[in-house]
Amino acid sequence: MRILHITEAAEYGVLRHISLVTSELARRGHECAVLLFGNRIDEGVELPCKRIIHKQTGGRLANLLDSIKTIRHAITEFQPDIVHLHAFTAGIAGRLAVKGCIYSPHSFALHNSIPWLTRKAVTLAEKCLGFRTGAYAFVSENEYCDAMQLNLDQSKLHVCHNGLPENFADGMYSREEARSLLESVHPGIFCAKKTGVFPGRLYPQKNPSLVIDALEKMGNDAPRIVFCGDGPLLESLKQRNCQSAFFTGRIPELWRYLRAFDFAIMTSWYEGLSYAFLECLAAGLPIAAPDEVGITDAFYGTKMDSPNNLLSIWPKDGADDLAKRIRDIAEMSCYPPCIPLTLAKQVDGLLEVYNNALVAKPFM
């Protein structure tokens, strides 16, 4: 089978998803190509297949029209059996370009923290383009629930949970190696008794300011939290001069270094299904996180027992509640690596979606 993956969100979690999925598809003998377009392309991520890069610098309307043309050209050039669109912008342009694609939104932008106009745009887009969609391939149950809220055709809805290779933890550094490597680049990073990691981008969606609020409430009793990401909130967070916060900027392949930390904190308002969450599980870290990152999908959905040192938090409950959770999680011990959701099972599900789409109605 020939599969063309397309995204404008060509960085971070979406590109990680595409890299993992195409690797497993290639291992099974399928031929893939990836079209990356727009102005936020991470060319450093390795992909096991043909990569088509199309950079854009124009305005929104000009870029949309250019994207439609670029997608049609890529389809003509690669001649795929399946076209799989990833994230909102590719979902719009791709379904305008061709009918019958597979679409993975990687989280519908419907949370109340998102501007009203954006939520209305997402709702309108799905109402207008749902009939042109061959199938939806969601990465989490949260996306499925959002799709039901949007009244999408239930026969087109499928959940293929994000997953990791079963031997994923083998690629991680030991605690000693990881600490030594990070200390050599960021001196003093581990000077506190306990050091946690915030493994996310510094964007409003990830809600990092709540962590700073909690650390400030804890005062001198706070453990150190290392923020391993970049984004538009970086400078404003630094300016708060929180003594318990340490900023490294983005660390490539952060997952390899996770065992260096004592615990992980996540405070996202919404997610698809967080790879950072799955990677912290694989590292054996105690985790305090909201259900939105994938706790229900990873454990209750798979009927696997969750580790005792996995704490649920509710961002809307505020900094006082999070401060208590941080105190609790900082005192917990690490546990054996845990990979409740596997890449193999994810790709099994995707191939079923692809095959059904081919039988039902090939894209055109």
DSSP of 270-295 = --SS-HHHHHHHHHT--EEE-GGGTH
184 shares a domain with 226 = yes
Residue 136, both tokens: 């939806």
d(CA 226, CA 298): 25
- The answer to whether residue 251 sits within a structural domain is yes
Where b means 16+ CB within 10 Å and e means fewer, 64-73 reads bebbbebbee
Residue 41, both tokens: 């392309």
254, 199 in Cβ contact below 8 A?
yes
150 shares a domain with 55 = yes
308 shares a domain with 190 = yes
Backbone phi, then psi, for 6, in 5-degree steps?
-135, 130
Show the domain range for 190: 168-330
Q: Give the number of domains in the chain.
A: 2
209 shares a domain with 282 = yes
Q: Identify the pLDDT of residue 118.
A: 84
Residue 111, both tokens: 């949370």
- The answer to whether residue 24 sits within a structural domain is yes
190 shares a domain with 105 = no
Enumerate residues 6+ apart whose C-beta is below 8 A from 109: 88, 118, 119, 122, 270
Query: How buried is 99 (Cβ within 10 angstroms: 0-12 exposed, 13-18 middle, 19+ buried)?
Result: middle
Q: Identify the pLDDT of residue 303.
A: 56
- Torsion sign (Cα): 162, 251, 327, 172: positive
- The answer to whether residue 12 sits within a structural domain is yes
d(CA 326, CA 318): 13
- The answer to whether residue 89 sits within a structural domain is yes
CATH number at residue 354: 3.40.50.2000
- The answer to whether residue 125 sits within a structural domain is yes
Enumerate residues 6+ apart whose C-beta is below 8 A from 359: none
For the residues of 88-114, what is the DSSP string, one character each? Answer: HHHHHHHHHH-SSEEEE-SS-S-STTS
- The answer to whether residue 337 sits within a structural domain is no
Q: Identify the pLDDT of residue 338.
A: 86
305 shares a domain with 190 = yes
Per-residue pLDDT of the chain (364 residues; tens, 9 = 90+): 999 999 998 788 899 999 999 999 999 999 999 999 998 888 778 888 999 999 988 788 889 999 999 999 999 999 999 999 999 999 999 999 999 999 999 988 787 878 888 888 889 989 899 999 999 999 999 899 999 999 999 999 999 999 999 999 999 999 999 999 999 999 999 999 999 999 999 999 999 999 999 999 999 889 999 999 999 999 999 999 999 999 999 999 999 999 999 999 999 988 889 999 999 999 999 999 888 888 878 776 655 566 666 777 777 788 999 999 999 999 988 888 888 899 999 999 999 999 998 876 655 6
Q: Identify the pLDDT of residue 228.
A: 96
325 shares a domain with 188 = yes
126 shares a domain with 250 = no
d(CA 164, CA 298): 11
Query: DSSP code of 3?
Result: E
Rounded to two decimals, what is the model's pTM? 0.92
- Torsion sign (Cα): 44, 48, 51, 57: negative
d(CA 147, CA 139): 12
Residue of 190, 122, 362, 172 lying closest to 281 (CA atoms): 172
Q: Identify the pLDDT of residue 364.
A: 60
308, 283 in Cβ contact below 8 A?
no
157 shares a domain with 16 = yes
- Dmax (CA) for the chain in angstroms is 62
Residue whose pair of structure tokens reads 């020939």 in the numeric block: 2
CB atoms within 10 A of CB 316: 11
- The answer to whether residue 338 sits within a structural domain is no
155 shares a domain with 74 = yes
Residue 83, both tokens: 């076209």
- The answer to whether residue 335 sits within a structural domain is no
249 shares a domain with 117 = no
221 shares a domain with 145 = no
